[in-house]
Structure 1
Amino acid sequence: MAFTFFILNSLNSHGALVHPHPHTLSLFLHQIHLLLSSLSLLSSSPSRSSHHPLSLSHPQTILRIRTPPSKPPRQTRPYNHSPHSLSSRHFHRRSISGPPGPRSKRRRFLQPPRIPPTSKIINSNQHNINSAFYGPTWRLLRRNLTSQILHPARVRSFSGTRKWVLDTLIRSLKSESETKESVKIIEHLQYAMFCLLVFMCFGERLDERQIRGVENVQRRLLVNFNKFNVLNLVPRVSRILYRKRWEELLQIRKEMEEVLIPLIRARKKVKEDRDRNADHDEGEDKVQNADHEDEGVVSYVDTLFDLELPEEKRKLDEGELVSVTTEFLNAGTDSTATALEWIMANLVKYPHIQERVFEEIKEVMGNKRGQDNNNKEVKEEDLNKLPYLKAVILEGLRRHPPGHFLLPHAVSEDVVLNGYLVPKNGTINVMVAEMGWDPKVWENPMEFKPERFLRSEGEEVFDITGSKEIKMMPFGVGRRICPGYNLAMLHLEYFVANLVWNFEWKAANGIVDLSEKLEFTVVMANPLQWVKINVDGAAKTNDSLISCGGVIRDNNGSWILGFTRSLGSGSALLAEIWGILLDITKGLDRGFGNIIIESDSLAAVHLVNKECNPDHPLRDIITKIHRLMSQAQNVKVVHVYREANRLANALASYASSMSDRESIFENVPNFCNHIFSEDFRKVCFPRRVSSQAFC
């Protein structure tokens, strides 16, 4: 009976198979199922890709979703397509069957899926390129971007700005490398890319304070946006149940406007002044601004002021300009910075590849790294002479695409694709990472081998647009391919070349961890960095009970882990030493190779950093600490004043009042939230010092 039911439900009126899928789920159960499915897809490690469930079953899967009963009966189905069940022919007319139509049948796949209410807040009711329906508005916005900003001639006009951003990046990397043992490169890359995109968007070289202001708002939107998805489930109800979350979304939108509208208005005034000057008599001398070399640059927002929406017969309002410029900033920052980090990580992991890139650059530049101040930049016109560099970039995009999925598409009518029915309003996505890791297409796909992209004499350059053959598609393909793919390739080649030319890159702890985690893009789960651990002990004077506590933070001061532990009876010094032992243990358990431990006990710091007397009562525990320290690449135990150790002290004091032997805090606990906030904001506290200390 069950077998007969399966057969009947596997065929349809088109005579095509229906994708394998679970049964239709209820309103709340389908949300749980979809969430778990998404997490399993997105969190799968590349090292385990050969065991990915999708590679063991059907190349396409479907999740049937029942919409809320308050709306007309309708079913939408998200299809996830894995590697090379679809080839280039599936994106052309001859592979698609269905009722004949006057226009190209490929257009059935061009629409975005239904936009949820939270997204409409950010994109001003679908007034940007990614969310707009395929039609006049979408064509207007995309054509404006590609012809006005991404045209090769216009891209070249920003070469001076790229050089300025490169110089800023190199200075910041050199400065930090001189004061720290290691450098967390992703933060520098994100800031550099954001500086560049802000200039291209608004035509002004803003100071660091202004750039950080814009960046912080955009970062807050990207990091927090997924948590607003719950508001899309029966919006009228969820807005009441999750009122604070709804208010937070509206506050982010308000902050976006507060930051970007002044920049938009300032640029509009510049454009109006420039237009008035252009209308002066030809014989009149024009005023030249020698102090502003970028005065004649046309920015992205300049091109938006005069656009008229064809269907609404009006220009974009300020809110819509905020949405379009936000899309431009976010699309070109995180994805490029993430790709740069992955490529640099592989160059560090495989020094012979880094050396080959350097030697290729050296042949073109004709000088040694860093010896000629006038020859430190690999110029844009030199990039076409560096085929191995281009191969490294392509291999980085294949092996570590910043996004493992493309933006979703929806079909406008029932379509049979590759023998399977895609029903009307079905949502389709392509699993980009799986396509680049397909062993049927790529030999040893999990290896980083740039040589696979080196072409023989007379062989065509690899087509990353997929117009002839689709072997990988980090930028998508077809009409909705990322319009900025040429700009992204230029930025990747330019910055990788100059980072290799100006620095020799090595792992601080000798290990490069290529495991992944999902943020806005798929980033390195463990970027190279130092972590700082504050530790403290506490003792009750009445019964000699002791405890310890510690907090692990990254080099930005962000919370990673907190812990407390009750130790029974003992001395205050024993509590401090136990705290250091637990600190190192938990740091190593988390995979950190570079650790700084700060303690306000000078006696404990001296005991750990110096040879311990064989007769010392704490000899055994000190020996354990030294053994653990030898397992890490770098461990420093340093003394700080108690005022700088308030957070660890609060954790240790909390442990002394609790019955639990040990507690772990993945997030900042409420009882020390105010202290963490003051630490993070670097609030200073006075310290009383005896006058004899100055004698």
Structure 2
Amino acid sequence: MIMMSVTTSLPYPFQILLVFIITLASITLLGRMLSRPTKTKDRSRQLPPGPRGWPILGNLPELIMARPKYKYFHLAMKELQTEIACFNFAGVHAITINSDVIAREAFKERDADFADRPHLFSMQTIGDNFKSMGISSYGEQFMKMKRVITTEIMSAKTLNMLVAARTIEADNLIAHVHSMYQRSETIDLRELSRAYGYAVTMRMLFGRRNITKENVSSDDGRLGKAQKDHLEAIFNTLNCLPSFSHADYLERWFKGWNIDGQEEMVKLNCNLVRSYNNPIIDERVKLWREKGGKASVEDWIDTFITLKDENGNYLVTPDELKAQCVEFCIAAIDNPANNMEWTLAEMLKNPEILRKALKELDVVVGKKRLVQESDIPNLNYLKACCRETFRIHPSAHFIPPHVARQDTTLGGYFIPKGSHIHICRSELGRSPKIWKDPLVYKPERHLKGDGNSKEVILVETEMRFISFGTGRRGCVGVKVGTTMMVIMLARFLQAFNWKLDPGFGLLSLEEDDAMLMAKPLLLSVEPRLAPNLYPKFRP
């Protein structure tokens, strides 16, 4: 059993709960061995190996005390010498997987068995009682929303319609950076990348980057106060998604008690996101369904609102649309921003990689025009860099949890119905069993032959690392996610020469507990193109 030190800064209600749990566990110490599964010769009826647990609470006391939590799973699996483990959290089986072979079995061979989501308070709140696609259970609602999103929202027709909107923000990105150069400002790459992802998402979703009429962006591309508040609430909501919080496993006992503040936090931030989203949606629903609409469909909201079934009934209700918009907001921004920061940091750490990326841009695009989305299929080395960043610097330790819909098996072990399935992204991408020199940043490992014989894609279907996911619960926005990511990196590299800001210090690739760079990357730039190629900001 693995023990971690307890922090002294715990909220008072949580201290009471912790004392209760530890007391109960101590009283029942003599019965611990009773919680061990009975060994049988038939391994298919055995749970995966796991640490010994307390009666009733299982491994929950250790989880509560672990800081940071992901290390608890890593150390336990290392001690058990297993690539699949079973943890018991107050009766919930949490299955953690570090093997690409078992991950493929789960999400390719047995994908239907693990297509559910857990019914947790945070997910229920974000999805407005499980109305959105990614959070809803595997069933009619999930099928309906996925069909609409796959065939309409993420269709080639709709994404092509939104090329102009995305191009405006790609231009605005360059205009913003150029204006910062002219003022000799330090660039916080994390802040800049998140602002870009936010602006693109708002353009595609609502047809505008300004979510309120009273608060607009400055004339150089900076986000206004309302936009910053909206973006902050989006990230705070994202951080409320399941992350092995003890509250996720004690809901049936303590729901409504606001254990560790998680319930209040998700309600507060989700409501704040909705306070910006919903007025736009209500106004647009009224326009289309009561006033005859506009001359044409122009964005994702328009597309959702106007869809009808074969009987002429609207396919998506306003409440479903509002829930899906929250999900789109929290799903679209963090991945490109995280990938961008780590990729540029690795390039600055490895100048030869940066040189190769610039050479590819100069050959494919040149210096007489700005790189466009139509160039992306030919930028294989740049996409290989993005893949390598996904492999070694994922945006989270685990993918969102799946749930077993029925009793089944994985890796030859028995997996009970209702088990939570967690694939460890960092362990896959950095596994020496899968990758040679796994801690070395080497984009070439993702190229085929000379790098031009086959187009590089960012999704990894063989589960050797996790980019956008795969299977029934895989990301349906791979195309738009790839576009946002690659065009941001390509524009940055083509238009500017980057170097560390003098006040940043030595470049360290150390990561924090959330897998972000421990220190936000601070840079300075110089233009790389002719002055006439730098666009003006368009609000």
TM range (shorter): 0.7 to 0.9
Q: Say which SS state the counterpart of residue 62 (structure 1) adopts.
A: strand
Contact 1:412–1:425 (CA<8 Å) still a contact in 2? yes
Q: Residues 437 and 55 from structure 1, CA distance in 2 versus in 1: closer, same or farther, beyond 3 angstroms?
A: farther
Corresponding residue number in structure 1 for 2:38 = 9
Which of 237, 251, 257 pairs up with 2:274?
257
Tell me the distance in 2 between the aligned counterparts of 1:18 and 1:184.
Answer: 47
Contact 1:411–1:422 (CA<8 Å) still a contact in 2? yes
Corresponding residue number in structure 2 for 1:212 = 228
Q: What's the offset of the Cα at 1:188?
A: 0.9
Q: What's the offset of the Cα at 1:309?
A: 11
Q: What's the offset of the Cα at 1:358?
A: 0.9
Deviations 1:15-34 (A, max 9, x none): 44421112343566743322
Corresponding residue number in structure 2 for 1:397 = 390
Contact 2:500–2:522 (CA<8 Å) still a contact in 1? no
User: Do structure 1's residue 195 and structure 2's residue 199 form an aligned pair?
Assistant: yes
Opposite residue 261 of structure 1, the aligned amino acid is N
User: Do structure 1's residue 420 and structure 2's residue 413 form an aligned pair?
Assistant: yes
Which of 115, 121, 144 pairs up with 1:110?
115
User: Do structure 1's residue 147 and structure 2's residue 151 form an aligned pair?
Assistant: yes
Opposite residue 62 of structure 1, the aligned amino acid is C
Deviations 1:383-406 (A, max 9, x none): 222221121121111111212211
Tell me the distance in 1 between the aligned counterparts of 2:99 and 2:477.
Answer: 24
Corresponding residue number in structure 2 for 1:573 = none
When Rg is computed on C-alpha atoms for both structures, the one with the higher figure is 1
Q: Say which SS state the counterpart of residue 86 (structure 1) adopts.
A: helix
Corresponding residue number in structure 1 for 2:358 = 358
User: Do structure 1's residue 221 and structure 2's residue 250 form an aligned pair?
Assistant: no
Q: Residues 495 and 462 from structure 1, CA distance in 2 versus in 1: closer, same or farther, beyond 3 angstroms?
A: closer
Tell me the distance in 2 between the aligned counterparts of 1:38 and 1:86.
Answer: 27
Which of 441, 445, 467 pairs up with 2:438?
445
Corresponding residue number in structure 2 for 1:513 = 508
Q: Residues 15 and 28 from structure 1, CA distance in 2 versus in 1: closer, same or farther, beyond 3 angstroms?
A: closer
Corresponding residue number in structure 1 for 2:49 = 20
Contact 2:230–2:272 (CA<8 Å) still a contact in 1? no
Corresponding residue number in structure 1 for 2:94 = 78
Contact 1:43–1:517 (CA<8 Å) still a contact in 2? no
Corresponding residue number in structure 2 for 1:348 = 348
Tell me the distance in 1 between the aligned counterparts of 2:294 and 2:305.
Answer: 18
Which of 84, 89, 96 pairs up with 1:65?
89
Deviations 1:610-664 (A, max 9, x none): xxxxxxxxxxxxxxxxxxxxxxxxxxxxxxxxxxxxxxxxxxxxxxxxxxxxxxx
Tell me the distance in 2 between the aligned counterparts of 1:308 and 1:25.
Answer: 53
Q: What's the offset of the Cα at 1:501?
A: 0.4
User: Do structure 1's residue 483 and structure 2's residue 476 form an aligned pair?
Assistant: yes
1:272-671 residue pairs with structure 2 within 5 A?
Answer: 272=289, 275=292, 296-305=296-305, 317-367=317-367, 375=369, 377-456=370-449, 460-461=454-455, 465-467=459-461, 469-508=462-501, 509=504, 511-519=506-514, 522-529=515-522
Contact 1:10–1:19 (CA<8 Å) still a contact in 2? no
Q: Say which SS state the counterpart of residue 414 (structure 2) adopts.
A: strand
Q: Say which SS state the counterpart of residue 504 (structure 1) adopts.
A: strand
Contact 1:19–1:62 (CA<8 Å) still a contact in 2? yes
Contact 1:157–1:297 (CA<8 Å) still a contact in 2? no
Q: What's the offset of the Cα at 1:264?
A: 0.5
Q: Say which SS state the counterpart of residue 205 (structure 2) adopts.
A: helix
Contact 1:516–1:523 (CA<8 Å) still a contact in 2? yes
Contact 1:25–1:65 (CA<8 Å) still a contact in 2? no
Corresponding residue number in structure 1 for 2:133 = 129
Contact 1:189–1:337 (CA<8 Å) still a contact in 2? yes
Q: Residues 174 and 362 from structure 1, CA distance in 2 versus in 1: closer, same or farther, beyond 3 angstroms?
A: same
Corresponding residue number in structure 2 for 1:534 = none
Q: Say which SS state the counterpart of residue 421 (structure 2) adopts.
A: strand
Contact 2:51–2:76 (CA<8 Å) still a contact in 1? no
Range 344-353 or range 14-23, more displaced:
14-23
TM-score, length basis structure 2: 0.77
Aligned residues: 474
Tell me the distance in 1 between the aligned counterparts of 2:116 and 2:242.
Answer: 22
Deviations 1:292-315 (A, max 9, x none): xxxx453222233356899xx996
Q: What's the offset of the Cα at 1:460?
A: 5.0
Report which of the two has the higher share of strand.
Answer: 1
Q: Say which SS state the counterpart of residue 421 (structure 1) adopts.
A: strand
Opposite residue 334 of structure 2, the aligned amino acid is D
Tell me the distance in 1 between the aligned counterparts of 2:251 and 2:117.
Answer: 21
Contact 2:190–2:337 (CA<8 Å) still a contact in 1? yes
Tell me the distance in 2 between the aligned counterparts of 1:89 and 1:28.
Answer: 30
Q: Residues 398 and 55 from structure 1, CA distance in 2 versus in 1: closer, same or farther, beyond 3 angstroms?
A: farther
Tell me the distance in 2 between the aligned counterparts of 1:350 and 1:236.
Answer: 52
Tell me the distance in 2 between the aligned counterparts of 1:428 and 1:146.
Answer: 25
Q: What's the offset of the Cα at 1:152?
A: 2.4
Tell me the distance in 1 between the aligned counterparts of 2:72 and 2:189.
Answer: 23
Contact 1:110–1:410 (CA<8 Å) still a contact in 2? yes
Q: What's the offset of the Cα at 1:219?
A: 3.2
Opposite residue 109 of structure 1, the aligned amino acid is F
Contact 1:412–1:424 (CA<8 Å) still a contact in 2? yes
Tell me the distance in 2 between the aligned counterparts of 1:55 and 1:30.
Answer: 15
Corresponding residue number in structure 2 for 1:266 = 283
Q: What's the offset of the Cα at 1:187?
A: 0.5
Contact 2:165–2:200 (CA<8 Å) still a contact in 1? yes
Contact 1:172–1:188 (CA<8 Å) still a contact in 2? no
Q: Residues 90 and 109 from structure 1, CA distance in 2 versus in 1: closer, same or farther, beyond 3 angstroms?
A: closer
Deviations 1:208-236 (A, max 9, x none): 34533432432343356679956653577
Q: Say which SS state the counterpart of residue 277 (structure 2) adopts.
A: helix
Q: Which runs of 5+ in 2 are unaligned?
A: 1-30, 211-215, 218-223, 524-539
Q: Residues 111 and 38 from structure 1, CA distance in 2 versus in 1: closer, same or farther, beyond 3 angstroms?
A: farther
Opposite residue 517 of structure 1, the aligned amino acid is D
Deviations 1:501-533 (A, max 9, x none): 0111112246322122244xx311111349xxx
Tell me the distance in 1 between the aligned counterparts of 2:403 and 2:253.
Answer: 25
Q: Residues 251 and 411 from structure 1, CA distance in 2 versus in 1: closer, same or farther, beyond 3 angstroms?
A: closer
Corresponding residue number in structure 1 for 2:176 = 172
Contact 2:345–2:521 (CA<8 Å) still a contact in 1? no
Opposite residue 330 of structure 2, the aligned amino acid is N
Corresponding residue number in structure 2 for 1:606 = none
Query: With CA pairs under 8 Å and 6+ residues apart, which has the higher RCO, 1 or 2?
Result: 2
Tell me the distance in 2 between the aligned counterparts of 1:40 and 1:246.
Answer: 19
Measured on the aligned residues, the alpha-carbon RMSD in Å equals 3.6
Tell me the distance in 1 between the aligned counterparts of 2:466 and 2:263.
Answer: 36
Contact 2:384–2:446 (CA<8 Å) still a contact in 1? yes
Tell me the distance in 1 between the aligned counterparts of 2:490 and 2:393.
Answer: 18
Opposite residue 34 of structure 1, the aligned amino acid is L
Which of 158, 162, 166 pairs up with 2:166?
162
Q: Residues 53 and 179 from structure 1, CA distance in 2 versus in 1: closer, same or farther, beyond 3 angstroms?
A: farther
Percent of aligned pairs sharing the same letter: 23
Contact 1:416–1:422 (CA<8 Å) still a contact in 2? yes
Q: Say which SS state the counterpart of residue 238 (structure 2) adopts.
A: helix
Contact 1:436–1:471 (CA<8 Å) still a contact in 2? yes
Tell me the distance in 2 between the aligned counterparts of 1:11 and 1:162.
Answer: 58
Contact 2:399–2:424 (CA<8 Å) still a contact in 1? yes
Q: Say which SS state the counterpart of residue 512 (structure 2) adopts.
A: strand
Tell me the distance in 2 between the aligned counterparts of 1:442 and 1:11.
Answer: 35
Tell me the distance in 2 between the aligned counterparts of 1:170 and 1:255.
Answer: 30
Corresponding residue number in structure 2 for 1:120 = 124
Contact 2:106–2:114 (CA<8 Å) still a contact in 1? no
Q: What's the offset of the Cα at 1:157?
A: 2.1
Contact 2:380–2:456 (CA<8 Å) still a contact in 1? no
Q: Residues 413 and 13 from structure 1, CA distance in 2 versus in 1: closer, same or farther, beyond 3 angstroms?
A: farther
Deviations 1:123-164 (A, max 9, x none): 111111122111121011112112212122322222222221
